[in-house]
């Protein structure tokens, strides 16, 4: 999908640096890309307003906060009915343990990334939340054994 905002070389540099160093000051950012502070601030603001920059956040190690179990969950709905799909999507947004949800093609209708405390908590998540949703046909869980790569930066060419 094309961006509404055409990105020039300065915008791309800003995006690369902010993805690598989200806490960089505007002054440091401006110096590193070769713009004045005011011009840099205007560009960052425009990138935010256009939705190119969605938000700023801290990346937290799930192991350090007692959420070491990562599960990829494939969900298939009974029928592709707009009401079932809309209700599923609305409810998934309410579950804090679901960090990502994608509508997909292939064997599953949705793929979720769930981060949770342990198997007992995952069992409760399935029984109290996921299985209580209308229109669920099948749920398949894949548990991550170890993390090989987990990047958040989008390659900016």
CATH topology of domain 62-143: Alpha-Beta Plaits (3.30.70)
Residues of the chain with CATH 1.10.10.10: 9-49
Examine the pLDDT at 1 and tell me if it is beyond 60: no
Residues of the chain with CATH 3.30.70.920: 62-143
The torsion angles phi and psi of 118, rounded to 5 degrees, stand at -165, -175
Q: Which of 1 and 154 is assigned the larger pLDDT?
A: 154
Q: For the domain 9-49, what is the CATH code?
A: 1.10.10.10
- Mean confidence (pLDDT) of the chain: 94
pLDDT at position 75 is: 97
pLDDT at position 34 is: 97
């Amino acid at each position: 999908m094309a961006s509404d905002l055409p990105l020039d070389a300065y915008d791309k540099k800003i995006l690369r640096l902010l993805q690598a160093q989200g806490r960089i000051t505007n002054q440091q950012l401006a110096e590193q890309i070769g713009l004045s502070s005011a011009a840099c601030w205007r560009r960052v603001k425009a990138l935010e307003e256009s939705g190119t920059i969605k938000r700023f956040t801290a990346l937290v190690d799930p192991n350090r906060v007692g959420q070491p179990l990562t599960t990829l969950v494939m969900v298939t709905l009974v029928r592709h009915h707009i009401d079932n799909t809309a209700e599923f999507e609305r409810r998934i947004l309410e579950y804090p343990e679901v960090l990502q949800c994608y509508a997909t093609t292939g064997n599953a209708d949705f793929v979720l990334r769930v981060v949770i405390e342990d198997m007992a908590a995952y069992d409760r998540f399935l029984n109290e939340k996921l299985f209580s949703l209308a229109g669920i046909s099948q749920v398949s869980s894949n548990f991550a054994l170890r993390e090989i790569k987990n990047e958040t930066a989008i390659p900016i060419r």
